[in-house]
Amino acid sequence: MTKDNKKTISGTVVGIKMKDTSTVLVERYVKHPKYQKFMKTSKKFQVHDAGNSAKLGEKVEIKETKPISKSKRFTLVKDN
């Protein structure tokens, strides 16, 4: 029994042009340190998607894994 301390993030699929790889856009709200206003920040992650199952615009959940390639550190967990 191993404890799973992997990060799980949800986002939207914005790119499906590569083989076994999807691009997922993750948006989150962050409070500005000085002005105390909430801002929306976004980041794109390259995600391992075996079989290219994700569709464009779909809400998905991604999970942190060991490095698969130079840019891929996440795998697709499930489609919502």
- pLDDT tens digits, 36-57: 999 999 999 999 999 999 999 9
Residue 1 lies in a domain: no
In terms of DSSP bridges, do strands 38-48 and 8-18 run parallel, antiparallel, or are they unpaired?
unpaired
DSSP state letters, 39-66? EEEEEEEEEE-TT----TT-EEEEEE-S
Residue 2 lies in a domain: no
Residues in the chain where the model's pLDDT stays below 70 = 1-2, 79-80
CATH value at residue 56: 2.40.50.140
Residue 32 lies in a domain: yes
In angstroms, rounded to a whole number, what is the distance separating the alpha carbons of residues 67 and 79? Answer: 22
Identify which of 27, 80, 17 has the alpha carbon closest to the alpha carbon of residue 47: 17
Q: Which residues pair with 47 in a beta bridge?
A: 22, 74
Residue-level pLDDT at 63: 95
Domain of 26 in residue numbering reads as 8-79
